[in-house]
């Protein structure tokens, strides 16, 4: 069979199973099945017995016989099937809640079976729920030394496509597959002593040894990372060579006046370096496509404003798109304050602007009267037109879809320069891989006068001490955030919800001595703005909130951030929340409230937060704990949908593939000597890549 043959024609599939494979796993061809890798292998020489089972033994294989089959009704059209399974050393109960009819028809008391699954103890008895099972003779007849184990769904199992059935299909497939073409350059294969693609794809399912399995995994990881690097580096090279860019070669009166008269504090060395990098991009003749990373409070907004002033000095407009009205409004107020008296027209275009005012605003933008526009996704509406848009700044770009962002930079010809900002620091390895199409700048210094936030971990018995400390801070004229993960009580999660938390806080901090406000995502924009403004003006002492305050809140007088159920937040989110305090000259504090018995990963997150305020160290820890596919904003694109490779664990392969791709493109930018790679690029151009934003 050839890779493009439809899966329905593979022996053992047929029309009904083909539909299940398509709907459950997106497998349509035999090539798709070949790329559906097992998540582990069972060494047939390693057998477990019921007598040696332990609660942490994980996935096991047992051989024995069945008896005492019982079916119990659990509701309308529902039933539970239980079967006793014995292997001579003990017994375990097998349980099915679905597909019971198929199991009853399959099991025979005089046949030996092999079962595979994860045992557990229920009511003092060993139990295995929905195990994979197969007649022992069928397994023995297989000549493969290792049995592949595949992830399957309940719908697949009920259709006879459990992991053993999937193994039979792949065993059939590897015995008849043909036409597997090599896709890596031969010199790369030779240099790294990689298996051929055909050998690797067969061995990943049915290796002859553990060494061969390891070699197959290495080859396929290398392949994944190589083409990931190729997609982004090729796009980056092509953009640099072919993209037409506005030439902003003039730094004039607007920029210089702001720098000499309006600068709120001296720029850090990192801020100066980034501005130089942006300036070089904007006068190069190529379209700028730059990522600006900076920790919370590092001064990214000021850098963005000064870059926008360069665009104004060259006769163009600039805009900044933010993900929320709160953040857009904060940027607008900051720009108004910094540009006061300079005569620069700045507009705030958000959804809550009245239609009549919005119409007038759009007219001013279209005429060029408005030089700087700040807004949310309202900026990308079709009827928002610019006279001459020269620079687009996107804040927290992971919160916008690719299609949304593309609408913004298609509003001007030639396309505007693009600066994307993130306050979520990204480890260097991941940044160089994920953002292969963007040039990266990093602000790795905090402005002078900023004190690192002191972070402490506290559990429920210490709550009175925590609230006493909050009273001390409030009595000293400071303000406090208390953040909860939920708005309403959940029966499934043991969390303090926002409303219960508000009542508790108000009991500790009674009126009229203390004023408490509440903000969450279900409030209207006007209600949120009202409560935020009260807090900003110092009219309320404590803001009880959800993560709606993660970005876009800047109150220098707030010195304490209390995060309830901190174990429920990711490291990146905890770091963002902590960044809401420490914005003034006073010492700030972050208190992480958790339950007593934390799991290992939760405890590691808490320790990381308490040990460092360096966003890049936190991002490295986040990457280790969660992996890149779960990093905020990356999963939406699917661009890290790696089957085998890990950006974290396979860093040597990441570096090797990056260097190989760089050398290939450096010597042959059009890939004229690599027709296979050219075909890959042609296919990739049909996809919208997350990093390829211009």
Cβ–Cβ under 8 Å, residues 370 and 346: yes
Can you tell me the distance from the alpha carbon of 325 to that of 376, in angstroms, rounded to the nearest whole number? 6
Distance CA 558, CA 537 (A): 11
**Selection from 250, 199, 244 nearest residue 220 by Cα:** 199
Strands 91-96 and 346-349: what pairing?
A: unpaired
3-state secondary structure of 230: helix
Q: Which helix (H) or strand (E) holds 591?
A: strand 589-594
Per the CB < 8 A criterion, the answer to whether 508 and 501 are in contact is no
Task: Render pLDDT for 77-98 as a digit per residue (tens, 0 to 9).
Answer: 788 899 999 998 999 999 988 7
Crossing angle of helices 571-578 and 615-626, in 10° steps, is 160
Give Cα 21 to chain centroid, integer Å.
27
Q: Which H helix or E strand runs over 666?
A: helix 651-667
User: If 0-12 CB within 10 Å is exposed, 13-18 middle and 19+ buried, where does residue 98 land?
Assistant: middle
Q: What distances in angstroms separate CA 481 from CA 257, 548, 560, one per listed residue?
A: 37, 12, 6
pLDDT for res 549: 66
Sign for the CA dihedral angle at 312, 333, 267, 441 comes to negative
Q: How far apart are CA 288 and CA 291, in angstroms?
A: 10
Which residues on adjacent β-strands are paired with residue 294? 443
**Cα→Cα distances 595→85, 465, 500, Å:** 40, 16, 17
- Picking from 616, 643, 564, 608, the residue whose alpha carbon sits closest to that of residue 25 is 643
Q: Where are the alpha helices (DSSP H) in 416-555?
A: 428-434, 463-475, 498-508, 525-536
pLDDT of residue 690: 39
CA 675 – CA 404 distance, rounded (Å): 34
Helices 300-313 and 269-282 cross at an angle (nearest 10°) of 30
pTM: 0.64
- Which pLDDT value is given to residue 633? 40
pLDDT, tens digit, 9 for 90 and up, residues 295-308: 777 888 999 999 99
53-67 burial, b at 16+ Cβ within 10 Å, e below that, comes to: beeeeeebbbbbbbe
DSSP one-letter code for 85: E
Strand partners, 327: none
User: Taking each helix axis from N to C terminus, what angle separates 210-242 and 675-684, rounded to the nearest 10 degrees?
Assistant: 70
Q: Which residue, among 54, 691, 84, has the nearest Cα to 397 in the 3D structure?
A: 691
Give the up-direction half-sphere exposure of residue 450: CA atoms within 13 A in the CB hemisphere. Answer: 20
- The confidence score (pLDDT) of residue 615 equals 77
225 phi/psi in degrees, rounded to 5: -70, -35
Q: How many residues does the chain have?
A: 694
Strands 132-135 and 317-321: unpaired
Sign of dihedral through CA atoms 590, 591, 592, 597?
A: positive
Q: Beta-carbon neighbour count of residue 694 at 10 Å?
A: 20
Contact assessment for residue 192 and residue 181, using Cβ atoms and an 8 Å cutoff: no
Give residue 159's pLDDT. Answer: 86
pLDDT the model gives residue 630: 42
Q: b/e for 510-520, b at 16 or more Cβ within 10 A?
A: eeeebbbbbbb
d(CA 520, CA 94): 47
> Which residues of the chain fall below pLDDT 50?
629-639, 688-694
The pLDDT score that the predictor gives to residue 5 is 93
* Contact indicator for 441, 291 with CB cutoff of 8 Å: yes
How far apart CA 560 and CA 474 sit, in angstroms, is 10
Q: Where are the beta strands (DSSP E) in 334-466?
A: 346-349, 372-375, 389-395, 417-422, 439-443, 454-459
Q: Nearest 10 degrees: CA dihedral of 348, 450, 555, 514?
A: 180
The strand pairing partners of 94, in sequence order, are 83, 128
CA–CA distance, 674 with 188 (Å, rounded to integer): 12
Cα 299 to Cα 213, 264, 318, 344, 422: the distances in Å are 49, 11, 19, 21, 12
Cα–Cα dist 347/131, whole Å: 62
Closest CA to 498 of 549, 564, 438, 582: 564
Return the pLDDT at 397. Answer: 58
């Amino acid at each position: 069979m050839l890779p493009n043959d439809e899966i329905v024609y593979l022996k053992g599939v047929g029309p009904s199973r083909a539909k299940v494979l398509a709907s459950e796993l997106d497998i349509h061809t035999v090539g798709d099945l070949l790329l559906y890798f097992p998540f582990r292998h069972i060494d047939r020489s390693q057998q477990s017995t019921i007598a040696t089972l332990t609660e942490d033994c994980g996935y096991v294989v047992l051989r024995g016989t069945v008896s005492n089959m019982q079916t119990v009704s659990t509701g309308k059209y529902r039933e539970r099937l239980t079967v006793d399974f014995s292997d001579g050393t003990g017994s375990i109960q097998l349980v099915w809640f679905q597909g019971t009819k198929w199991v009853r028809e399959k099991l025979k008391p005089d046949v030996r079976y092999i079962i595979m699954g994860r045992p557990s103890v229920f009511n003092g008895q060993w139990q295995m729920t929905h195990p994979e099972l197969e007649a022992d003779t069928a397994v023995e007849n297989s000549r493969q030394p290792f049995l592949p184990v595949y992830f399957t769904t309940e719908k697949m199992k009920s259709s006879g496509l459990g992991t053993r059935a999937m193994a039979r299909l792949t065993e059939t497939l590897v015995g008849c597959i043909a036409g597997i073409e090599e896709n890596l350059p031969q010199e790369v294969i030779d240099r790294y002593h990689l298996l051929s693609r055909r050998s690797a794809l067969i061995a990943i399912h049915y290796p002859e040894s553990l060494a061969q399995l390891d070699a197959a995994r290495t080859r396929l990881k290398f392949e994944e990372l190589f083409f990931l690097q190729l997609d982004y580096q090729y796009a980056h090279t092509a953009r640099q060579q072919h993209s037409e860019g506005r030439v902003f070669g003039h730094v004039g009166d607007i920029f210089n006046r702001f720098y000499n008269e309006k600068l709120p504090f001296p720029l850090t060395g990192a801020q100066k370096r980034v501005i130089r990098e942006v300036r070089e991009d904007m006068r190069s003749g190529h379209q700028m496509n730059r990522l600006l990373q900076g920790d919370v409070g590092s001064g990214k907004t000021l850098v963005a404003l000064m870059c926008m002033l360069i665009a104004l000095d060259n006769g163009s407009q600039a805009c900044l798109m933010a993900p929320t009205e709160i953040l857009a409004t904060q940027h607008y107020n900051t720009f108004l304050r910094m540009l006061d008296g300079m005569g620069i027209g700045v507009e705030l275009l958000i959804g809550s602007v009245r239609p009549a005012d919005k119409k007038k605003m759009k007219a001013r933008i279209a005429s060029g009267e408005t030089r700087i526009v700040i807004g949310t996704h309202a900026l990308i509406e079709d009827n928002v037109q610019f006279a001459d848009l020269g620079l687009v700044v996107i804040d927290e770009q992971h919160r916008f879809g690719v299609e949304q962002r593309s609408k913004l930079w298609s509003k001007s010809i030639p396309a505007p320069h693009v600066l994307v900002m993130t306050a979520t620091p990204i480890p260097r390895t991941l940044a160089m891989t994920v953002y292969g199409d963007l040039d990266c700048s990093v602000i790795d210094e905090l402005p002078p006068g900023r004190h690192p936030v002191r972070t402490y971990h506290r559990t429920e018995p210490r709550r009175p001490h925590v609230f006493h400390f909050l009273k001390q801070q409030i009595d000293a004229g400071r303000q406090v955030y208390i953040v909860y993960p939920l708005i309403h009580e959940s029966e499934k999660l043991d969390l303090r919800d926002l409303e219960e938390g508000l009542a508790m806080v108000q009991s500790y901090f009674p009126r009229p001595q203390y004023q408490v406000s509440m903000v969450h995502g279900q409030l209207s924009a006007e209600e949120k703005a009202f409560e935020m403004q009260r807090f900003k003006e110092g009219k309320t002492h404590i803001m009880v909130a959800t993560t709606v305050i993660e970005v876009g809140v800047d109150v220098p007088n707030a010195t304490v951030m209390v995060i309830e159920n901190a174990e429920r937040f990711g490291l990146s989110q905890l770091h963002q929340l902590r960044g809401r305090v420490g914005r003034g000259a006073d010492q700030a504090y972050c208190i992480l409230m958790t339950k007593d018995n934390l799991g290992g990963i939760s405890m590691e997150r808490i320790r990381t937060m308490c040990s460092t305020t360096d966003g890049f160290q936190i991002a490295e820890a986040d990457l280790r704990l969660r992996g890149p596919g779960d990093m905020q904003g990356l999963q939406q694109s699917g661009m890290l949908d790696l089957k085998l490779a890990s950006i974290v664990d396979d860093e040597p392969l990441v570096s090797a593939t990056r260097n190989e791709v760089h050398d290939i493109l450096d010597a042959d930018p059009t890939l004229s000597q690599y027709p296979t790679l050219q075909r890959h690029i042609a296919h990739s151009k049909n996809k919208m890549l997350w990093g390829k934003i211009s």
